[in-house]
Amino acid sequence: MTSQLLRRLGVVTAAVLVVAFGAAAPAQAESTTGSISGHVTRPDGSPAPSELVFARDVNSENPGGAAVTDENGFYFIIDLVPGSYRVSIPRGSQTQYAHGKTSSSTADVFVVTAGEVTAVDEQLLALGTLQIVVTEADGAPARGEVSLHNLDQSFGSSARLDESGQASLNVFPGEYKVQVVPAIPGDPDNLDFARAQWLHGATSFEQGEVVAVTPDTTTAVAERLLPSGAVTVTARDSMDGSPIVNFCARVADREWCSDGSGSVTLTGLLPATHDLEVFTHDGLYLPTDATVTIVAGETVPAVVDLVPGGAITTTVVDAITGQPVAGACLIPVPMGSGRVGDAGGDCTGVDGQTTLGPLLGGVYHLFVVPETGSGYGAQWVGWMGGVGDPARARGVTVEPRAVAAMPSVKLDRAGTISGTVTSAATRQPVTSGHVSLFPYGNGSPAFDSEIDESGRYSLDWLGPYEWPLVFTTLDHARQWSGGVADRREAKQIKVQSGKTTTYSPALKVGTVMTGTVTDATGNPLTIDFDVINAATGDNMGSGFSPGGTYRSLILGPQTIKINWRLHNETTSHEGWYDDDIDFEHAKPIDVPKKGTLTVDLMIATG
């Protein structure tokens, strides 16, 4: 270890020299810090010199310190911030923790007090040795890497195979599973993870055999690499069955493209069932996942049907100068939903161009998110420029196997909406929550601003258009600007470039929706659920039923549908009220403008 690294770790050298001659540990002067010192001994009890000892704060907020033991095995770690520490000693690629532990979760914790020295002595555990010899399927020495893993699947230790296919690992006694990752043929420095296997001849951790390593003993094992197989992939159009000549296929870390040949052969694969991904780069087919079972010594065929899709191409420019804008991300949204999903979109390069796809056929609106700090404002792409309301956005029709070219997207400079959120019931500021462009939930990002403890919020990245906003807090029903439940009726807040528009709503508390959640026999169930506006599909609330009861605030009047999720030790599934399979067939519920609404949910768990 270099002296520079030791200094960075705070390793003490001068102090241990003092006690090398039998002197007592240095007295701790009046200080705001404390120390840890002690002796490290070998398994036979003799002093263990030149061992690196670490003291690390259990909360990981303080860096701690380190020291090297002297010829008497003594160490002294100074300048430790008072707190709780674990003491550890590296043992090759593993770590020993005081006292006699092999993981941080089971390690003892030692309290450091200002001005005092905490004594921690430690005896090194006896190690065992695993000696392994690995050969290729034809018996030749193999190159690559072997690694030991604890039975909880945590990493233990690893070593490279030498030219004779051998490796030796000194590790803590215990039970391990051994993984072998061969080198890429002809390239011994790089590993071929697609051919990784477990002792003996297994293709998964679960199937691997257990090897016991005992103290002061060498355990010898041998492993022969499995013979590999291959797959030849062809792709077809799922609608008309026609062959697709340009595509790519990926199995494990193997990826190859057909380059117009109409087929791809992936070699060197373990005899097992693998996930297969097939895709195109032209954006005209949706990527498809399949499975393929590889047979040793054989090339198996795989025919994959790809669903035709389409793409949208455009250029993003400055609305005034016409110059291309880089780093703007465009997110396609199915027309009518008004909700941006959890995809990040495709972003423009330095030329301002981007292609979105592949997309299922249909009509889409585009939401544009400029690069942070660019000064441009977000927008929905409209017919004559940007807009803030998805209802006014321009529709782009995507046809299967076609690229839709749309006019340039023109970005305007950003403005701000800010204000103070209060409660209509108390006239006091709302002290937490979010103000967003979309109701979050159902996997949708919020594009939001947090409400601070004084009720303030600010959205400073909006284009100069009229925007509807949605407000979400714990003690009020979710609602759109203007205090409505339907975004089509929301108040539009006008933004001006470079200026701040003030909008300070007084939120309505909403209607109390309450009820019980039980199975068919009346036993209480704990679920979580979302409240979906039946007309717009927006997530307008949520709930949780600990002990089989719930209470939620929902803004009325509106008609809703409930999407629930049940997770417990024996089952995990979801559905819609009242025992329906999807949004379309779910039973609508009318929420009154005020008062209490009781809705009991009975969920079939069988």
Instruction: Delineate the domains of the chain, giving CATH numbers in brackets.
Output: 3-123 (2.60.40.10), 128-224 (2.60.40.1120), 229-306 (2.60.40.1120), 310-411 (2.60.40.10), 415-507 (2.60.40.1120), 511-602 (2.60.40.10)
**pLDDT mean over 290-313:** 96
The percent helix, strand, coil of the chain (3-state, each to 5) is 5, 50, 45
* Residue 463 token pair: 């284009």
Residue 258 above 50 pLDDT?
yes
* Residue 441 token pair: 């939930």
Q: What pLDDT shows up at residue 344?
A: 63
**Percentage of the chain surpassing pLDDT 90?**
82
Residue 280 above 90 pLDDT?
yes
- Please state, in angstroms and as integers, the Cα–Cα distance from residue 319 to each residue in 359, 377, 410, 467, following that order: 27, 11, 4, 19
> What are the pLDDT digits (tens) for 456-478?
999 999 999 999 999 999 999 99
Q: What is the largest CA-CA distance in the chain?
A: 89
pLDDT band at 28 (very low <50, low <70, confident <90, very high): very low
Do β-strands 353-359 and 299-306 pair in parallel, antiparallel, or remain unpaired? unpaired
Q: What pLDDT shows up at residue 92?
A: 79
pLDDT band at 7 (very low <50, low <70, confident <90, very high): very low
Q: What pLDDT shows up at residue 1?
A: 42
Q: Distance between CA 378 and CA 465 in Å, rounded? A: 10
Residue 339 has φ and ψ, to the nearest 5°, of -120, 130
Q: Distance between CA 311 and CA 273 in Å, rounded? A: 33
Residue 400 above 80 pLDDT?
yes
Q: What pLDDT shows up at residue 61?
A: 62
Task: Quickly list DSSP for 555-571.
Answer: -SSEEEEEEEEEE-SS-
- Please state, in angstroms and as integers, the Cα–Cα distance from residue 429 to each residue in 423, 435, 452, following that order: 6, 14, 10
197 burial via Cβ count (<10 Å: 0-12, 13-18, 19+): buried
Question: Considering only CA atoms, which of 375, 312, 385 is closest in space to residue 348?
Answer: 312
Residue 18 has φ and ψ, to the nearest 5°, of -60, -45
Question: Considering only CA atoms, which of 512, 294, 507, 314 is closest in space to residue 406?
Answer: 314
Residues paired with 285 in a beta bridge: 308
Calculated CA dihedral for residues 504, 505, 506, 511, nearest 10 degrees: -160
pLDDT band at 127 (very low <50, low <70, confident <90, very high): very high
**pLDDT mean over 589-600:** 97
Residue 14 above 70 pLDDT?
no
**pLDDT mean over 398-404:** 95
Residue 365 above 60 pLDDT?
yes
Q: What pLDDT shows up at residue 599?
A: 97
Q: Which residue intervals of 106-153 are DSSP H helices? A: none
Residue 329 above 50 pLDDT?
yes
Q: Distance between CA 408 and CA 384 in Å, rounded? A: 11
The continuous run of DSSP H or E covering 366 comes out as strand 362-369
> What are the pLDDT digits (tens) for 375-391?
999 999 999 999 999 99
> Cis before residue 200, ω within 30 degrees of 0?
yes
Are residues 393 and 365 in contact, defined by beta-carbon separation less than 8 angstroms?
yes
**Percentage of the chain surpassing pLDDT 70?**
92
Residue 515 above 70 pLDDT?
yes
Query: Residue with structure tokens 């039980």?
Result: 518
* Number of Cβ atoms within 10 Å of the Cβ of 493: 21
Are residues 436 and 472 in contact, defined by beta-carbon separation less than 8 angstroms?
yes
* Residue 557 token pair: 């009047």
Are residues 270 and 194 in contact, defined by beta-carbon separation less than 8 angstroms?
yes
SS3 391: helix
Q: Distance between CA 73 and CA 70 in Å, rounded? A: 5
Q: Distance between CA 475 and CA 433 in Å, rounded? A: 9
